[in-house]
Amino acid sequence: MTRKFFGTDGIRGRTNEGVMTAATAMRVGQAAGRHFLRGDHRHRVVIGKDTRLSGYMMESALVAGFTSVGMDVVMTGPLPTPAIALLTREMRADLGVMISASHNKFEDNGIKLFGPDGFKLSDEDELEIEAAIQSDQKLAPSADIGRARRIDDARGRYIHAIKRSVPSDVRFDSLKVVVDCAHGAAYEVAPSAIWELGAKVITLGVTPNGRNINDGVGSTSLDALKAKVVEQGADVGIALDGDADRLIVVDETGRTVDGDQIMALIATQMADRGQLKGGGIVATVMSNLGLERFLQSQGLSLERSRVGDRYVLEKMREGGFNVGGEQSGHMIMLDHATTGDGTIAALQVLAALVRSGKKASELLHLFDPVPQLLRNVRYAGGTPLDNDRVKAVIAAAEAELAGKGRLVIRASGTEPLIRVMAEGDDAAQVEAVVERICDAVQAAI
């Protein structure tokens, strides 16, 4: 079945256009609600959101959909995506919903769904809901319509849960930390958790107004954080994205530490303590070859998955791994969370700094990345990767890089983009390969 609504990470798009309208959100609520009406108990869904202006509209529409099919709704207000996954499981809800477009600008919004176990839905569940959205759903009798209420203790529950990921004998009193919350969902909980563990916290991106989420701040816009870290003489900077499921770090000199370096740190630290499961970690095809070589030098493996944290998670569960993530900063630590959690990952980085007594610049750059180049080609329709000329250029590039690098070509799951990535020891060769492929794709378009 061709997907009309669900992409790599739930449903996402420009608000009030295409699939991201209030009418569609109500139908999603009805379809997902009916899908999870199993058994004779009173059914419940937990709904959270980030700080986008459209979150109120989408929340109201989803509430209407869920209650109309007989599901009770618990609303948390702005909270990180991993908090909704946690609360879904802890509150014995049948379903969890996060209203967020992650790192996108405020004009976009999205809907992410979690099952009763706190994990993102399987492809099979999404396909069934996808079909149900496009058909009429049976509504509940008047006496069985669901109720909706807001809860006030959701933030406290989440803060308490993530603090437990840090051993009780580890305190952050020696650290000065800049925490950039992207004017997003973690604007209260992330600084609070880090401060409660003893750190001196300097905040950035904690004054959301509905329109400024991810605007010049957060994990995809690091300049403000870098400047603040250096200006304040901080030990480290923490950057989350709009829904706080990803993390990028800045060391005390202002240098970026991406998801690959963070995974290398967490994996080796856990391996040293005998806590790493599966003999390595899971990352996507986009993670740098340097990470793979470094892990091999430490006797650890790197298993690769498709792009998307849900596919990382699938491979982790299949192989018994407890650490996985993406270069972009999604960090999944299954001992503590069922999905990517930027704040939990940040706490592990801060704990490692305390244990080592080293500066961030000494501890957080464990390997030298090989030259890697990613370019995007936007297209309006069709399947340019099926073009014979494009296939021939890609095949030639793969032969050229054989044994010296890697090539990853894919269509984005969330935007109309062809992503072309190459890496290898020769930077000039990598750039030339990417140029040729992008030119071929553009010509096909």
From the candidate CATH numbers 3.40.120.10, 3.40.50.1000, 3.30.160.100, 3.40.47.10, the one assigned to the domain spanning 6-152? 3.40.120.10
Q: Which fold has domain 372-444?
A: TATA-Binding Protein (3.30.310)
The fold of the 158-363 domain, in CATH, is Alpha-D-Glucose-1,6-Bisphosphate; Chain A, domain 3 (3.40.120)
Please check whether residue 335 is in contact with residue 164, taking contact to mean a CB–CB distance below 8 angstroms.
Answer: no
Token pair, residue 70, equals: 């007989």
Residue-by-residue pLDDT tens, the chain, 445 positions: 467 888 878 999 999 999 999 999 999 999 999 999 988 899 999 999 999 999 999 999 999 999 999 999 999 999 999 999 999 999 999 999 999 999 999 999 999 999 999 999 988 999 999 999 999 999 999 999 999 999 999 999 999 999 999 999 999 999 999 999 999 999 999 999 999 999 999 999 999 999 999 999 999 999 999 999 999 999 999 999 999 999 999 999 999 999 999 999 999 999 999 999 999 999 999 999 999 999 999 999 999 999 888 899 999 999 999 999 999 999 999 999 999 999 999 999 999 999 999 999 999 999 999 999 999 999 987 889 999 999 999 999 999 998 889 999 988 876 789 999 999 999 999 999 999 999 999 998 8
Please report which helix (H) or strand (E) contains residue 71, including its range.
none
Q: What spatial distance separates the first Cα and last Cα of the chain, rounded to whole Å?
A: 25
pLDDT of residue 326: 96
Question: Closest by alpha carbon to 44, among 156, 132, 149, 143?
Answer: 149
Residues marked as catalytic: 102
Task: Write down the pLDDT at residue 157.
Answer: 97
Instruction: Give the number of C-alpha atoms closer than 13 A to the C-alpha of residue 387, restricted to the C-beta side.
Output: 19
As to burial, measured by CB atoms within 10 angstroms (0-12 exposed, 13-18 middle, 19+ buried), residue 58 is buried
| Residues contacting residue 225 through CB under 8 Å, at least 6 positions apart | 178, 180, 204, 217, 237, 239, 250
In 3-state terms, what secondary structure has residue 34? helix
Q: Where are the domains of the chain?
A: 6-152, 158-363, 372-444
Q: Whole-angstrom Cα distance, residue 184 to residue 108?
A: 13
- Confirm whether 6-152 and 158-363 share one CATH topology: yes
